Structure 1
């Protein structure tokens, strides 16, 4: 059996290869969109000469492979280019938006992960009871409802009727930490309801599968309390699939916030990419798409590596 470092190295190489393919797909997909960027920027009344001059200045007159490798080399140096809509450096434009999105994802994880673990453990311990059925019903209902609908329901309840939370997550550089937390409570709750079911059900399933094993029965026959059986014997062997699902859902939080950010007008990376698509700001769209893809691939790679490291059969191959 291959050693752990070798397996991890293989996963990293595969992740880098996947990221390169994704970057090619992103660049090609955006380049093949209908319409012309120069015409969109200058307007329909622009002369052919001005359009040709702008296309030349943007490098749009060069072959596809030349433009792609030029863009890729710039990205590898940390240069995403300049926004066509604002004329600002894309790195400076993206950085605060990315931090806002990461902050929203972090707050969601702080709420969702403990709830998922506690709910999944309790549902496993009291499986096939009324409590278990209620938990399953609530989680399945929450994951079945579209996020935009959940967001509007929460706005109606807590912002319109109760008036205790803001309906718009309007934050900027001057907003303090308490103001940021207050502003993102509803977006975080919306995302929590979307990812809670997957994590909770995986936790429940993993623990139930382990509670029927012989070593668990042996520990019970020795008179060990149920909580010690769970903590000392069941949970250590259940962590690998549970942690994998948690990390994968964190990847979803980073890349799946677009709808939530648009509904709550939250100044994150999702809102930026939607605004850039509307303005046909191609360099910003490419940069945001590549960042989303990079984060998703990195977190998937992390989940894969953690599942390998936390698997006792791989840690002790003999």
Structure 2
């Protein structure tokens, strides 16, 4: 039985993604190994006796060779066991579940605002190319993309929270909050992410549309009397979906994996905040698990971008 070319491409990309994730897991483990100091001494403190440190190292398996520990950790991860937190003694999978749900909620909240906004602004900028609207949008997006996330976050905090008192400065909404409360308390971190990622998607949408406006079929549509809006929406946009989908997927990956700074600024109980807290406590198993999850999500969304781009434009499957 012959596989459909798209199905074969998906399987090939999945295999490549698994190999990439395996390489990243090795890199994460080696990076942890290269950290200065002894993990057992850092966890137990300076008052611990050498016998206690040695016993704790045996308990953690630190007395074994690095390759043995890596293979044991990788085997446990493949079985869904990320180990136990050194700081709290809880199962890491239990810690990750709630935090990952919070991070996903924040990313989807920001994506629901930024994706339609960016595509709409990009289409309007292409439609009114060279006008005051186009120039204003380009200046605004270039300004937002030029500032780091923490700077945008503190500016929003200064005005919306400190001066005007419209939104809370801390985005922690507890465990039993309603959807309205969650949307309200996470508006500022979501707005920070929107301002950061909208520029990329808007400029790519504008560039992809403008690049197609010089094509012969677009000229033919204009000669037939089609309005500029119809030319862009009916003729240019379907053929520009591939690069737009790619940049949207990449920015969605950033929304999930790049929220660490935003979560720390707004004390948001997400995966990024958990990773930063674990680094401060030298809770290495939690740090490894967070890094691996971020890498897996990024690889998966990149794969989704490739598949959707080819599904909208099958010509990308064949080499020129």
Which TM-score band (shorter chain)?
over 0.9
What's the CA shift for 1:95?
Answer: 0.6
What's the CA shift for 1:315?
Answer: 6.6
Pick which of 205-214 and 223-232 moved more: 223-232
Q: Which residue of 2 aligns with 1:191?
A: 193
Residue 70 (structure 2) pairs with residue 68 (structure 1): yes
Aligned-residue CA RMSD (Å): 1.5
Out of 263, 266, 269, the position equivalent to 1:264 is 266
Q: Return the alpha-carbon distance in structure 2 between the equivalents of residues 312 and 92 of structure 1.
A: 42
Q: Which residue of 2 aligns with 1:299?
A: 301
Q: Deviations over 1:285-307 (max 9, x none)?
A: 11111111111111111112222
Change (3 A) 1:315 1:23: closer
Q: Return the alpha-carbon distance in structure 1 between the equivalents of residues 317 and 295 of structure 2.
A: 30
Alignment check: 8 A CA contact 1:309 1:315 kept: no
The TM-score normalised by the length of structure 1 is: 0.97
Q: Deviations over 1:17-61 (max 9, x none)?
A: 000000010011112211111101111111111100000011000
Q: Return the alpha-carbon distance in structure 1 between the equivalents of residues 20 and 120 of structure 2.
A: 35
Q: Return the alpha-carbon distance in structure 2 between the equivalents of residues 268 and 7 of structure 1.
A: 34
- Where do residues 10-89 of structure 1 align in structure 2 (5 Å cutoff)? 10-89=12-91
Helix, strand or coil at the partner of 2:240 = helix
- Where do residues 156-195 of structure 1 align in structure 2 (5 Å cutoff)? 156-195=158-197
Q: Which residue of 2 aligns with 1:287?
A: 289
Q: Return the alpha-carbon distance in structure 1 between the equivalents of residues 55 and 49 of structure 2.
A: 10
What's the CA shift for 1:4?
Answer: 2.4
Q: Return the alpha-carbon distance in structure 2 between the equivalents of residues 284 and 31 of structure 1.
A: 14
Q: Deviations over 1:119-152 (max 9, x none)?
A: 0000001111111111000000000011111111
**Which consecutive residues of structure 2, in runs of 5 or more, have no partner in the other structure?**
none
**Which consecutive residues of structure 1, in runs of 5 or more, have no partner in the other structure?**
none
Helix, strand or coil at the partner of 2:82 = coil
Q: Return the alpha-carbon distance in structure 1 between the equivalents of residues 61 and 18 of structure 2.
A: 27
- Where do residues 207-246 of structure 1 align in structure 2 (5 Å cutoff)? 207-246=209-248
Q: Deviations over 1:222-253 (max 9, x none)?
A: 12222222222111101000010000000011
Q: Return the alpha-carbon distance in structure 2 between the equivalents of residues 171 and 61 of structure 1.
A: 42
Alignment check: 8 A CA contact 1:147 1:191 kept: yes
Q: Which residue of 2 aligns with 1:117?
A: 119
Q: Return the alpha-carbon distance in structure 2 between the equivalents of residues 191 and 316 of structure 1.
A: 36
Q: Return the alpha-carbon distance in structure 2 between the equivalents of residues 199 and 188 of structure 1.
A: 16
Q: Return the alpha-carbon distance in structure 1 between the equivalents of residues 31 and 63 of structure 2.
A: 17
The TM-score normalised by the length of structure 2 is: 0.96
- Where do residues 132-151 of structure 1 align in structure 2 (5 Å cutoff)? 132-151=134-153
Q: Which residue of 2 aligns with 1:107?
A: 109
Alignment check: 8 A CA contact 1:105 1:188 kept: yes
Residue 190 (structure 2) pairs with residue 154 (structure 1): no
What's the CA shift for 1:184?
Answer: 0.7
Alignment check: 8 A CA contact 1:83 1:283 kept: yes
